[in-house]
Structure 1
Amino acid sequence: MNALRQRTHSLVCISLNTSKFIHISTNSKSSTLVNAMCDSLRRGSNWDTLTKQFCSVELNHSIVEKVLLKLKDPVDAKCALGFFHWSAQRKHYQHNLWSYCATIHVMVRARMLIDARVLIESVLKKHVEDDSRCLVIDSLFRTYEVMESSPLVFDLLVQAYAKMRMLEVAFDVCCYLEEHGFSLSLISFNTLIHLVTKSDKSCLVWSIYEYMLQKRRYPNEETIRSLISALCKEGKLQTYVDMLDRIHGKRCSPSVIVNTSLIFRIIEEGQTEGGVLLLKRMLQRNMILDTIAYSLVVYAKVKLGNLESALEGYEEMLKRGFSANSFVYTTFIGAYCREGKIERANFLLQEMENMGLKPYDETFNLIIEGCAKVNRVEESLSNCEKMMGRGLLPSCSAFNEMIGKLCETGNAEQANAMLTPLLDKGFLPNEITYSHLIAGYAKAHKIQEILKLYYEMESRLLTPTLQVFSSLISNDFLTVATTVLGTLFGM
């Protein structure tokens, strides 16, 4: 048994030594070939010369990788690019992801950025599927250190995704890179924001800007211009300009408009704590005005349902010398209306007017709707008339709440009379508006008025709701209900 073991051990040693010699010999040949190729490239040999000189060489990934590693310094960048393109033309050889990424790193180090961009776009097109795009990033990571590259390569990657209109992917890659310790430049964020603005993905613009601020990449004039364009495209620029006029009393800079719109969106989406945190950071960097910041904090606390805390914040605001404004008053009026505290809401409305602050459309809408919900219909009507007298139109939801209560109490005629002047001023009723009126006339058994309203609905391309049919059937207007159904379904 011992003799067998010794014989086996001897055979293994011989085998290992033989393998070692073969490996050394192979490495030696490979190294000689790689050096010869690099020397030829450095001498400026053209493709024909290279092909004749190395016609018997069958390229493989190992040889290509070694050549690219030899030529990784900026002084050899043109040689590396020439070798990459020459080897791509050889029969039976195709570059793998490693050689693409290694060559991209070489181009970036040498600041041959046009060539780097071309290669990046080429490799992205080869790996465009969702399940393989991470392969490109991971391969760039794996080759980053060995090619002694620059973080600029990842900026070019994100910019390439953006220019290829793969906008969501570009943002995903941006987040992925940040998670792995690579921070993008402001140029990359601006490129991404600018191209998203030109697309139909407006929500993505604000997600990118929020993320950018969270990572402490602060905007420049180019960023702000793109975001103002996004607001214009959404049709919301005037909305935020008006809001700031009510808070600040005069026109604000484009950057303040943009930052206010972002915070307001975040709060509206229910991410109140995140919005307030970002707001404080903006305030520290003078990206937003104090009065606006305090007003938005009050609004955020009201949205969270912390009315007492909001009132404390408001009192602190006044103690610090800031003046009250229409936006904050309207915020509190809305809170009291939702709680059914109409007396308190009315008091605030009167107080703001006494201070010379002008109620605006939202202020009146809240009061109109709040009064109607607690059956104070006369007050609701009075505020609606006051609103119209100032050249403002009620919102459809506020008006519907008010006339709904009127129709329930048998005042369909009065409700219909309120609608007529509004229509002349451009008010756009919806299905619910007509449903309330039809239900009110059904209770009064006024069939002609019901038919008039139905045909008016039809002319406005509005479809009767279930409430219409229920009210007609319950009031024995089966003939009218059948007529309506027949018209709807062509019976």
Structure 2
Amino acid sequence: MILRLRRPLLIVRKSIHTKPTSPTAASSSDITGLLTNGGKWDSLTAHFGSITLTNSLVEQVLLNLKEPSEAKKALLFFHWSSTHHSSFHHSLRSYSIAIHILVRSGLFIDARALLESAITKTSQPESCLLDALLSTYEAAPSGPRVFDILVQTYAKMRMLDHAFDACSHLMDRGFSISLTSFNALLRVAQKSNRYDLAWKVYEYMLQRRVYPDRNSIETMTNVMCKQGSLQNIISVLDKINGKRCAPAVIVNSGLWFMIFKKDNFNVDHGIVLLKRLLQKDMIVDSVVYSLIIFARCERGELDNAYEMFDEMLKRGCGSNAFVYTCFIGAHCKSGRIEEAIRLMHEMQLSGFKPYQKTYSYMIEGCSMSGRLDECMTFYEGMIKHGFVPDSDACNQMIGKLCECGKMEKANDILTVLLDKGFKANQVTYMILMKGFGDAGNAREVTKLYYELRHRGIHPDPMACEPLIKSLRQCGKFNEAEKFLHVIGSEKHLPL
């Protein structure tokens, strides 16, 4: 009975497989025929294990099996050809043809595995893989999804720059990249702390009219949180809108400020982006106008800023504390302090409360204009309302006080500000040290030097000039030389 069962199996095997082919007679049709007639791994080895494989032969077999019903056979042959022929290595074209076949057949897991293999096992630049996929796209049409899988695979492998370059190249060629792929790229960029790239990708999405969804916004919110910019943007929007804005508005406002910081920022291009977001209800009128006014004021384009302000009012958007502060800052920077003071009073009469930036502008502007009494008035108002000036404003105020011979007053102000959490910098101490040094008060200069060091600020030699100079003026040459030696040895400078 056992012998009778084995005989039919031998007969079936002979009916399925042709006799072994010699190495010189093998063709793509022979291999294809064996596979389409039910041949498996062992059959391939038995009949074609000794043939010499070439890239052209492998590619032709794959193309013969490009229909979805034959996809698994194509994959079987792909793996067999590299496993049983150790000297043979698949070309990027072979990989690409196989990947197209798998994607067209819906075998996405296998397609991703081949993509990862192509990326890790080939020595050619990653751009060559994309070129190979493009060059074989018509021969084994798989649809644009293959390029989404490529981008997602790059993202998964944390090859983020390659993923973004592939997106740009493909979209320039007229292919569409799905929101799912962009979200994968954003998510991995955020997890990899590639915040600049995340913003670059997000901006590119909007430029190409691939609009974010909830997942995109959530990822970019996490980016802002990790960067430490989230609370600042929320604070600005609260001053514009008077209430908490939607997450999309927060993220898109954050994008605006990120773009604004670029050296090549163009206000007109930025306006186009904001209007596009407005059309998609991803930002609100009052925020759009306020951000444009901010940009115009920062660029010193006051006439354009006021034109936009008039348009803002005509559209029914009232003014706000942020817009007032933008105009106050622009006038202070241009030396029109009278207009800045007028706007400050108007702002308060309109029911808007000045905040830290508003007061800082006024203190800095009044100091630069030599209006010390008004500067002190704004400083006292600021402290009363719980704010401290920024570094530039503080340094201008202390500098003006020292210039007027009021070093003790300046020193007292610095003490108060430090107690309130102000972060003094080297310039702050240098101004005070110079003031006391010019007055011949070497003792106070020395105290300030030690305080500066105690706060973890490591001064450069220029910052210590007032200390050395004042000690020498007071005849304390030994102490001057001692400090000069310490500074020189710390900075590795020649004495």
| Amino acid paired to 2:42 | D
SS of the aligned residue for 1:219 comes to coil
**1:433-452 CA distance string (max 9 Å, x none):** 11111111112211221111
One-letter code aligned to 2:170: L
- In structure 1, the partner of 2:170 is 177
Are the equivalent residues in 1 in contact too, given 2:331–2:340 (CA < 8 A)?
yes
Separation in 1 of the partners of 2:56 and 2:468? 84
* Counterpart amino acid of residue 298 in structure 1: I
Identity of aligned residues (%): 45
Q: C-alpha separation between the residues in 1 aligned to 2:235 and 2:381?
A: 21
Residue correspondences, number = 461
Aligned to 1:81: 75
- What is the CA–CA distance in structure 1 between the aligned matches of 2:24 and 2:345, rounded to whole Å? 91
Is 1:63 aligned with 2:42?
Answer: no
Shift of 1:56: 4.3
* Partner AA of 1:383 in structure 2: F
**More displaced stretch, 303-312 vs 102-111:** 303-312
Of 408, 413, 420, the residue aligned with 1:418 is 413
1:217-228 → structure 2 map (5 Å cutoff): 217-228=210-221
The residue aligned with 1:348 is: 343
Deviation at 1:179, TM superposition (A): 1.4
Find the aligned partners of 1:268 and 1:175 in 2 and give their Cα distance. 23
- Say whether residues 1:461 and 2:456 are aligned partners: yes
TM-superposed CA distance for 1:47, in Å, is 1.3
C-alpha deviation, 1:96, in angstroms: 1.2
| Whole-Å separation in 2 of the counterparts to 1:426 and 1:474 | 31
What residue is the counterpart of 2:33 in the other structure? Answer: 39
Q: Deviations over 1:350-391 (max 9, x none)?
A: 111111101111111111111111111222222122111111
Superposed CA RMSD: 1.9
**Contact 2:203–2:255 (8 Å) recurs in 1:** yes
Match of 1:200 in 2: 193
2-side partners of 1:226 and 1:469: how far apart? 47
Select between 168-177 and 106-115 the one with higher mean Cα deviation.
Answer: 168-177
- The normalised TM-score by structure 2 is 0.89
Select between 251-260 and 400-409 the one with higher mean Cα deviation: 400-409
Work out the CA distance in 2 between the residues paired with 1:243 and 1:134.
42
Instruction: Report deviation, 1:43.
Output: 3.5
Q: Matches of 2:122 and 2:310 in 1, distance apart?
A: 58
Other-structure match for 2:484: 485
List per-residue Cα deviations over 1:43-72 (Å, max 9, x = no partner): 332212211122343222222111111100
Contact 2:26–2:48 at 8 Å: present in 1 too?
no
Equivalent residue for 1:136, pick from 105, 129, 141:
129
* Residue aligning to 1:302: 297
Contact 2:363 2:375 in 1 (8 A): yes
* Matches of 1:428 and 1:94, distance apart in 2: 62
**Is residue 53 of structure 2 the alignment partner of residue 54 of structure 1?**
no
Instruction: Determine the structure 2 residue equivalent to 1:103.
Output: 98
1:189 aligned to which of 157, 182, 185: 182
2:415 maps to a residue whose letter is T
Confirm or deny: 8 A CA contact 1:247 1:327 kept in the other structure. Answer: yes
**Structure 1 pair 342–63 and aligned structure 2 pair: CA distance change class (3 A):** same
Change (3 A) 1:417 1:58: same
8 Å contact 2:445–2:466 — kept in the other structure?
Answer: no
**Aligned 8 A contact 2:405 2:435 in 1:** yes
| 8 Å CA contact 1:435, 1:464 repeated in 2 | no
Which shows bigger deviation, 215-224 or 179-188? Answer: 179-188
CA distance in 2, matches of 1:382, 1:36: 95
Task: State the one-letter code of the partner of 2:267.
Answer: T
- Counterpart contact for 1:410–1:443, Cα < 8 Å: no
**Superposed CA offset, 1:98-127 (max 9, x none):** 111100000110010000001111111134
**Structure 2: stretches of 5+ with no match in the other structure:** 1-22
Q: Which residue of 1 aligns with 2:11?
A: none
